[in-house]
């Protein structure tokens, strides 16, 4: 390790280590299959939509191009989100608003990659609000926010589809 890595580790606030430990704990729990209530999927798209609305409408240079990029991101995200749940082969619990999700290492891998990038390259995931004043960056940020919103909405729509039409989780026989 170089001195810059040690400086990065030393200058990182304590609460960031606590948050990182919490995210690692969550990512290890996502390795095993679990049953989720459908209502636990709802807060994330609401949060994404609120952040999108603040980002799109709070800047002085609001354009219809941003809305077009955001809507394109939402539609693409909805397709990718439903495709992700379809490929994961989630199943609904019969007569309950719950879904069964198989385990996946994706969250753990993403967390390790972002932690490595943060520590080794001193790279952060923050958005500089002054970039929203620049048209090129504002369009990219609008598209990314739309994609995140669409991914979560697409997952919920596919989960609702599974609740109504299946596939259903077959009860295990002892």
What is the arithmetic mean of pLDDT over 48-61? 79
Considering the domain boundaries, does residue 116 fall inside one? yes
Considering the domain boundaries, does residue 70 fall inside one? yes
Considering the domain boundaries, does residue 8 fall inside one? yes
pLDDT confidence band for 173 (50 / 70 / 90): very low
Residue 46 vs residue 107, higher pLDDT: 46
What is the arithmetic mean of pLDDT over 139-162? 90
What residue numbers bound the domain in which 43 lies? 3-20+32-165
Considering the domain boundaries, does residue 172 fall inside one? no
Q: Tell me how many domains the chain contains.
A: 1
Considering the domain boundaries, does residue 66 fall inside one? yes
Give this prediction's pTM.
0.74
pLDDT confidence band for 147 (50 / 70 / 90): very high
Considering the domain boundaries, does residue 170 fall inside one? no
Considering the domain boundaries, does residue 171 fall inside one? no
- Label each residue of the chain as H, E or C: CCHHHHHHHHCCCHHHHHHHHHHHHHHHHCCCCEEEEHHHHCHHHHHHHHHHHHHHHCCCCCCHHHHHHHHHHHHHHHHHHHHHHHHHCCEECCCCCEEEECCCCHHHHHHHHHHHHHHHCCCCCCCCHHHHHCHHHHHHHHHHHHHHHHHHHHHHHHHHHHHHHCCECCCCCC
Considering the domain boundaries, does residue 55 fall inside one? yes
Least confident of 13-17, 46-50, 65-69, 154-158: 13-17
């Amino acid at each position: 390790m170089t001195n810059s890595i040690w400086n990065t580790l030393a200058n990182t606030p304590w609460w960031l280590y606590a948050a990182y430990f919490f995210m690692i704990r969550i990512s290890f729990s996502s390795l095993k299959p679990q049953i989720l209530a459908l209502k636990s999927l709802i807060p994330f798209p609401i949060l994404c939509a609120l952040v999108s609305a603040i980002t799109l409408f709070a800047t002085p240079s609001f354009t219809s191009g941003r809305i077009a990029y955001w809507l394109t991101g939402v539609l693409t995200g909805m397709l990718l989100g439903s495709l992700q749940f379809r490929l994961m082969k989630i199943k609904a619990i019969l007569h309950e608003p719950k879904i069964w999700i198989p385990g996946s290492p994706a969250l753990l891998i993403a967390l390790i990659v972002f932690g490595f990038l943060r520590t080794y390259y001193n790279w952060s995931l923050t958005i500089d609000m002054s970039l929203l004043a620049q048209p090129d960056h504002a369009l990219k940020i609008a598209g990314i926010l739309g994609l995140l919103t669409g991914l979560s909405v697409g997952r919920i729509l596919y989960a609702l589809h599974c609740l109504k039409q299946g596939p259903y989780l077959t009860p295990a026989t002892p």
